[in-house]
Copies of this chain bind each other. A is one copy, B any other.
Amino acid sequence: MLTNPRSDRVRAVRALSRRSVRSRTGEFLAEGPQSVREAVRFAPEHVRDVYVTPDGAERHPEIVEAARVARLFVHEVTPEVLDAMCDAEHPQGLVAVCRWAEPAFDAALAALPPDAVVCVLTNVRDPGNAGTVIRGADAAGADLVVVSDSSVDVRSPKVVRSTVGSLWHLPVVTGVPIPALLEGLRARGVRLLAADGAGETLLPDVDLTGAHAWVMGNEAWGLEAAVRDACDEVVRVPIHGHAESLNLAMAATLCLYASAGARGAAR
């Protein structure tokens, strides 16, 4: 049982709340039972350590058992140690230190099916929106999420929490410069659909057969003009009432579910 909240190990885990430390170590935090369970289930080879309080172990025996079966290091800690490790206010008794692992962009492109649905985040800065889009992409069955180098770090604790485990469910490629990202997708035959409130094509009217990518912009100011112009089509979600817009996560989820519907009909 680890009992000292001021130990070097605890400090090292807590330091993963900082981007610079995540970059240097290649590690990040999964906080809370949902994130830890999905990391252990879907990517045990990338989990370095699991920390659990006695209460957490009692409430989630299946997670501890799955971690042991996967031969992971499971450490018992006091609630004070867990709190000292975490960014979250209520880690609910469980946290895992994970290794940063993602496919290379080229490999991820090569693995796409012919009717691929891709979600692209450019200049997304808000952690909650970014995480919720990744969760929506997972739920809609998207094949790949690509995050530009100008976006929020998807391994930050807030983003990881908002994905509610989806970060481990589908390939997420990060750090790609926007031009390389658009070019790579295009070269692979993926049609680029810019999601933009000023789009001429309405979402229900767009052709969603074949491989395509939804290109999303910043949560406040939308897509850069250069990005919009580089896309094959600019599509807007219709606004039927008086709302000025939808938030990024809602718009992305509606677009990705439209793709899922079209793919379901075609298959």
Residues of A in contact with B (beta carbons under 8 Å apart): 34, 38, 42, 132, 135-142, 164-166, 169-170, 204, 237-247, 249-250, 253-254, 257, 260-261, 264
Contact = CB atoms under 8 A, between A and B. Distances in A.
A34 B220 CA distance: 13
Contact of A204 (B136, B244, B261): B261
Interface pairs A-B: 5 shortest CB-CB? A141-B240, A169-B242, A139-B243, A138-B241, A138-B243
A132 B204 contact: no
B261 A132 contact: no
Nearest to A136: B250
B165 A240 contact: no
Contacts of A260: 238, 240
Which of A141, A166, A246 has most chain B Cβ within 10 Å? A246
6 contacts: A135-B247, A137-B241, A138-B242, A139-B245, A165-B243, A253-B253
Contact of A241 (B132, B139, B239, B261): B139
A6 B262 CA distance: 59
Copies of this chain held together in the complex = 2
A246 B139 contact: yes
A164 B244 contact: yes
Q: Which of A42, A166, A244, A250 has the most CB of B within 10 A?
A: A250
Nearest to A34: B244
Contacts of A135: 243, 246-247, 250
Given A261-B204, A264-B204, A253 B242 contact: no
Given A253-B254, A254-B253, A166 B242 contact: yes
Residue from the set A34, A166, A237, A244 with the largest chain B CB neighbour count within 10 Å: A244
A247 B132 contact: yes
A223 to B, nearest CB: 19
Contacts of A169: 241-243
A243 B132 contact: no
Contacts of A204: 261, 264
Given A135-B243, A138-B242, A246-B253, 17 more contacts: A132-B247, A132-B250, A136-B250, A139-B237, A139-B240, A139-B250, A141-B241, A142-B241, A164-B243, A164-B245, A165-B242, A169-B241, A169-B243, A170-B242, A204-B261, A249-B250, A254-B257
